[in-house]
Amino acid sequence: MNAIELHGVKKFYKEGDSLVHAVDGVDLTLAPGEFASLAGPSGSVKTTLLNLIGGLDRPDEGTLAVDGESTREKSDDRLADLRLRKIGFVFQAYNLIPVLTVYENVQFVLQAQGVPDREHRDRIMPILQQLGLAELANRFPTQLSGGQQQRVAVARSIVGNPAIVLADEPTANLDSETAASLLQMMRRLNQEKGITFLFSSHDPMVFDMASRVIRLRDGKIQTDELKRA
């Protein structure tokens, strides 16, 4: 069973009286445990493709499956449940809840999944410790640096034990040292937990770290490079 599988996926947008092919017949398969990146210039629909894979948007044509589950025919409620159970998101803008502490931002996922309260601390604190956030657990997002906020976003994305993490330009707002540290941390999570990571990025550092780089142009896959160890 593949982690991600797309066949003939298309997404249209109206521009005046015309239809624009934002995603134009994409075929893509990722095996479980891959550490891959979508690459391409602005306007190459990297984020659009991530949103389709993550069920934040729906394809107009083609089939799409995540961890063996088709997404196209699911109701909004069932799609939300799939995202909650199987997909973690790391957004460029972090999307942390400002009135919640670091601990509570991560806890929010477990509450949504219905995990019993007595299990929360045992699930959350080892992750915060691993990401160097344990001492910041009671701070609010406004009290954190950009790199720290991005690490909280990563903690939130993995606490629910997803099969897949989708990360949209995760290094865009970080200095090179913080970005390298974040990528190494995500690579370690990929290797230790077997989580499939798919990035959207234009950062050469991401491409160097990725084991596969999928380059997009004009809504299509231009090249698909699988690196060898």
- What are the residue ranges spanned by the domains of the chain? 33-46+73-226
Residue 84 pLDDT exceeds 70: yes
**Tokens matching residue 178:** 């913080």
Residue 229 pLDDT exceeds 60: no
pLDDT of residue 65: 95
Spatial distance between the Cα atoms of 224 and 12, rounded to a whole number of angstroms: 23
Ranking 46-55, 143-152, 168-177, 200-209 by mean pLDDT, the lowest is 168-177
Residue 105 pLDDT exceeds 90: yes
Contact between 32 and 163 (Cβ < 8 Å): yes
pLDDT of residue 43: 66
**Tokens matching residue 113:** 């999944």
CATH of 33-46+73-226, one of 3.40.50.300, 3.90.76.10, 3.30.1340.10, 3.30.499.10: 3.40.50.300
Mean pLDDT of 57-68: 93
Task: Please give the C-alpha separations between residue 21 and each of 16, 32, 166, 188, 201, in angstroms, as whole numbers.
Answer: 13, 29, 23, 37, 21
Residue that the structure tokens 């990528």 belong to = 183
pLDDT of residue 178: 83
